[in-house]
Amino acid sequence: MSTANLDPTLNTHGAHAEHEEEDHRMFGFIVFLLSESVIFLSFFVGYTVYKTNITDWLPAGVEGLEVREPLINTIVLVSSSFVIYFAERFLHRENLWGFRAFWLLTMAMGSFFLYGQAVEWMGLPFGFTDGVFGGTFYLLTGFHGLHVMTGVLLQGIMLGRSFLPNNYAGGEFGVAATSLFWHFVDVIWIILFILIYVWQ
Amino acid sequence: MSNASIEAIAAKSGQPFPGAPNNWRRFFSFSTDHKVIGIQYMVTAFVFFLIGGLLAMVMRGELITPEADLVDRTVYNALFTMHGTIMLFMWTFPVLNGLSNYLVPLMIGARDMAFPRLNAAAFWLVPVFGTLLMVSFFVPGGPSQSGWWAYPPVSLQNPTGNLINGQVLWLLAVALSGVSSIMGAVNFVTTIFRMRAPGMGWFKMPAFCWTVLSAQMIQLFGLPSLTAGAVMLLLDLTAGTSFFDPARGGDPVLYQHFFWFYSHPAVYVIILPIFGTFSEIFPVYARKPLFGYRFVVVSSLIITVLSAMVWVHHMFASGTPSWMRMLFMFSTMLISVPTGVKVFAWVATVWGGKLRLDTPMLFALGGLVCFLFAGITGVMLGAVPFDIHVNNTYFVVGHFHYVIYGATVMGVYAAIYHWFPKMTGHMYYEGLGKLHFALTFIGVNLNFFPMHPLGLMGMPRRVASYDPEFAYWNVIASLGGFLLGVSTLPFILNMISSWILGKRAPANPWNAIGLEWLIPSPPPVENFEEIPIVVSGPYGYGSDEPLVANNPAGELISEHS
């Protein structure tokens, strides 16, 4: 070990530690996602408990939720999981333009989902503070929406990074993690859609 | 700093290869070294321990007479709320994270944690949320008064009408503490899974690392439930939702489920690493291998799983249906089986050993005695009829404090004394250590034993004044409490003076087995010049088998028995 590595401020991770950190990132990220899924699980449990226990569950004057637009949104989001998979495949085959095209398409589909949700929110006859139903509805869809937004943001960063020279030695973890995150957000949405829109 | 001065420091430290510079300033910097972060965690936690202890002193001062004459009732409410919050979120979790941070990479033969920068960020959140919590003493209306569990509808009251109030700050601090803990948990789990030295199979890993892994798994899968509850409570308080407001259709009991689904397992987040500490210390000071190592390890995993199935025992008196009470009574009592396995293993380890009663061993034995007592009252509380009888009385407070102070704090002290030579490169003063132990052990029992008769007599908890018939035991408890306050003084004195002036510690002052004892004290920057290749288990006392195939520090442990 050379003395050059012995910076007394102890930020001493040489190339060795950096490399190790790379290796462990995906494992750590999966662990994090498992933990994150428990927050959603808690919200889902809360929603189910409220829905089964509260007699006047829907706010006065609200009949139920319109399913058609959310269903279109669901189809778009679920399809985007396949699109992002193909983007990754292009990257593995070192077809950078193919990757960028499909990656951008995923971003567009994610953005469409967010736009669709915003339109839905604006048209709803109840608000965040209208009883427990209003609260849980916006909490669940909002918290999920926040994740979609994060996903699109991460995708944007990865797309930008793909234009940096010599990037893709270290950039593949970012792509793999973003893609995994996107699948996660997707699975959560499917459960959420069934819970809120199908089970009315 | 120039290379020349670094070399001078390394030379001064007398280590065979350049070690950590003995510079106190690095403990105030954004360091990514797990050893620095570990000590930063522990020292920060201890500062909050003193603050939390001071609040407890005021409470015991109030309770020394039956009348509410020292502080008024609202201040008393704030005192017990902040005492509980600080001791759990600012003391136990950070101090154990610190200990684990310091020890785990050394014990598994790694150069650092998996994510050093994330590790540092997780630590620096501690002073941030600690400050946030302290700020609540100065906002109009004062700090939260709803207890460390923040049950609605009490926690939904906001008499000042301000958006920034004690309860909101409390929730933000707890949420940040959760973020920090999850960052830590991801790091620990990844480190232990992925960074063990070659040859260190799962069943060659020290029991302490197993308990840390178990505890951090609970953080990962339990904490999000508290976060969910806290977010909903925060929205109720600030955004006008009604999740937990019964007047507007909400369900306050749901909050209790969210809260205890994490906060009961959190007890195991606290006690499991202490079990690990006991498992490391008893073999060293009894000169015997840990009895039933595999059983000790597997019991940690069973406790982890069972811990997620017992939370409703905190809610036996919350209108819980009888069938559910029965179910959770059985699951609660079941947890005493794996715990009992551990206790038997420790007793069998110590049994017939050549005991050395150094301070770490004294604290470990004292902690074990207290834990046994807490275990017995714990089984009693698990029984529904008894629990309902003593619900919300001092019996519960006594049980809880035997776990938290008796076992946990004493276990932390045991660990600090045991690894102090490794961490600082200096020996502590044995006489001061023994004085510290004597004061602590007497203080714990004087303070917390009287709470059991008080509870059985019916004294409710969380009250500033009480019926004069409870005065006798309360006076004893208060005296014990003050003694506990005093007991920290020899500890502080010992730590500071021996760190500066203490005799230089060799690499392995206790003649212990374990990778951390193969390297100099204090360990050099990246721990191991060469990553050790592990060939045998961690508790080979009395066996001639070497622990590692290559020797990372160029000197072997002189003897094993």
3-state secondary structure of B393: strand
Q: Is A12 on the interface with B (CB under 8 A)?
A: yes
Burial classification of residue A41, based on how many CB atoms lie within 10 Å of its CB (0-12 exposed, 13-18 middle, 19 or more buried): middle
- From chain A residues 18-77, the ones with a CB under 8 A of any chain B CB are 20-21, 23-25, 27-28, 31-32, 34-39, 41-43, 46, 49-50, 53-54, 56
Query: How large is the average pLDDT for residues A87-105?
Result: 91
Output the pLDDT for position B549.
86
Beta-bridge partner residues of B143: B166
Out of B29, B33, B189, name the one closest to residue A12 (CB): B33
Say yes or no for a CB contact (<8 Å) between A32 and B20. Answer: no
Out of B193, B220, B232, name the one closest to residue A35 (CB): B220
Could you give the percent of chain A with pLDDT greater than 70? 86
Prediction pTM value:
0.91
Output the pLDDT for position B162.
86
A18: confidence class by pLDDT, cuts 50, 70, 90: low
A60: confidence class by pLDDT, cuts 50, 70, 90: confident
Q: Is B555 on the interface with A (CB under 8 A)?
A: no
Q: What is the pLDDT along chain B (561 residues), one digit of tens a residue?
A: 333 343 444 444 444 334 455 567 778 888 999 999 999 999 999 999 999 999 999 999 999 999 999 999 999 999 999 999 999 999 999 999 999 999 999 999 999 999 999 999 999 999 999 999 999 999 999 999 999 999 999 999 888 888 889 999 999 999 999 999 999 999 999 999 999 999 999 999 999 999 999 999 999 999 999 999 999 999 999 999 999 999 888 999 999 999 999 999 999 999 999 999 999 999 999 999 999 999 999 999 999 999 999 999 999 988 889 999 999 999 999 999 999 999 999 999 999 998 999 999 999 999 999 999 999 999 999 999 999 999 999 999 999 999 999 999 999 999 999 999 999 999 999 999 999 999 999 999 999 999 999 999 999 999 999 999 999 999 999 999 999 999 999 999 999 999 999 999 999 999 999 999 999 999 988 899 889 999 998 998 888 888 888 876 544 444 333
Q: Is B228 on the interface with A (CB under 8 A)?
A: yes
- In angstroms, rounded to a whole number, what is the distance separating the alpha carbons of residues A162 and B236? 43
Q: Is B3 on the interface with A (CB under 8 A)?
A: yes
Query: How large is the average pLDDT for residues A126-145?
Result: 94
Q: Collect all residues of chain B within an 8 Å Cβ-Cβ radius of residue A173.
A: none
Q: Is A131 on the interface with B (CB under 8 A)?
A: yes
3-state secondary structure of B497: helix
Q: Collect all residues of chain B within an 8 Å Cβ-Cβ radius of residue A139.
A: 231-232, 235, 241
| Phi then psi dihedrals of residue B393, to 5 deg | -110, 175
Say yes or no for a CB contact (<8 Å) between A28 and B251. Answer: no
**C-beta separation of B38 from B99 below 8 A:** yes
Q: Collect all residues of chain A within an 8 Å Cβ-Cβ radius of residue B101.
A: none
Q: Collect all residues of chain B within an 8 Å Cβ-Cβ radius of residue A129.
A: 239-242
Instruction: Give Dmax over CA atoms of chain B in angstroms.
Output: 73
| Phi then psi dihedrals of residue B548, to 5 deg | -130, 155
Query: How large is the average pLDDT for residues A105-126?
Result: 96
- In angstroms, rounded to a whole number, what is the distance separating the alpha carbons of residues B284 and B302? 26
Between residues A23 and A53, the one the model is more confident about: A53
Beta-bridge partner residues of B166: B143
State the smallest CA–CA distance between residue B32 and chain A in angstroms.
6
Amino acid at A101: A
Say yes or no for a CB contact (<8 Å) between A39 and B224. Answer: yes
Residue of B nearest to A10 (CA): B31
Q: Is A5 on the interface with B (CB under 8 A)?
A: yes
For testing contact with chain B, the best of A31, A37, A126, A138 (most B CBs within 10 A): A31
Say yes or no for a CB contact (<8 Å) between A24 and B195. Answer: yes
- In angstroms, rounded to a whole number, what is the distance separating the alpha carbons of residues B204 and B537? 4
DSSP letters of B303-355? Answer: HHHHHTT-GGGGGTTTT--HHHHHHHHHHHHHTHHHHHHHHHHHHHHHTT---
- From chain B residues 24-53, the ones with a CB under 8 A of any chain A CB are 26, 29-33, 36
Output the pLDDT for position A4.
36
Output the pLDDT for position B461.
95
The token pair that represents B148 in the structure block = 């460390």
Say yes or no for a CB contact (<8 Å) between B32 and A10. Answer: yes
Residue of A nearest to B8 (CA): A3
Output the pLDDT for position B132.
95
Say yes or no for a CB contact (<8 Å) between B112 and A4. Answer: no
Output the pLDDT for position B57.
97
Out of A4, A23, A42, name the one closest to residue B224 (CB): A42
- At residue A170, does pLDDT exceed 50? no
State the smallest CA–CA distance between residue A78 and chain B in angstroms.
26
Q: Collect all residues of chain B within an 8 Å Cβ-Cβ radius of residue A58.
A: none
Q: Collect all residues of chain A within an 8 Å Cβ-Cβ radius of residue B525.
A: 5-6, 10, 12
Say yes or no for a CB contact (<8 Å) between A12 and B525. Answer: yes
Out of B7, B193, B225, name the one closest to residue A27 (CB): B193
Count interface pairs A-B at CB distance under 8 A.
153
What ipTM does the predicted assembly reach?
0.89
Q: Collect all residues of chain B within an 8 Å Cβ-Cβ radius of residue A35.
A: 182, 185-186, 220-221, 223-224
State the smallest CA–CA distance between residue B352 and chain A in angstroms.
43
DSSP letters of B180-218? Answer: HHHHHHHHHHHHHHH-PPTT--GGGS-HHHHHHHHHHHH
Out of B1, B185, B242, name the one closest to residue A132 (CB): B242
The token pair that represents B508 in the structure block = 């392995």
For testing contact with chain A, the best of B180, B216, B241 (most A CBs within 10 A): B241
Say yes or no for a CB contact (<8 Å) between B32 and A27. Answer: no
State the smallest CA–CA distance between residue B549 and chain A in angstroms.
21
Q: Is A142 on the interface with B (CB under 8 A)?
A: no
Query: Which residue has 């950070």 as its token pair?
Result: B94
Residue of A nearest to B2 (CA): A7
DSSP, res B458: T
State the sign of the Cα–Cα–Cα–Cα dihedral B379, B380, B384, B388: negative
Least confident of A21-25, A144-148, B279-283: A21-25
- In angstroms, rounded to a whole number, what is the distance separating the alpha carbons of residues A39 and A185? 13
Say yes or no for a CB contact (<8 Å) between A135 and B242. Answer: yes
Say yes or no for a CB contact (<8 Å) between A8 and B254. Answer: no
Say yes or no for a CB contact (<8 Å) between B23 and A27. Answer: no
DSSP letters of chain A? Answer: --GGG--TT-----HHHHHHHHHHHHHHHHHHHHHHHHHHHHHHHHHHHHHHH-SS-SPTT------HHHHHHHHHHHHHHHHHHHHHHHHHTT-HHHHHHHHHHHHHHHHHHHHHHHHHHHH-S--TTSHHHHHHHHHHHHHHHHHHHHHHHHHHHHHHHTTSTT-TTTSHHHHHHHHHHHHHHHHHHHHHHIIIII--
A19: confidence class by pLDDT, cuts 50, 70, 90: low
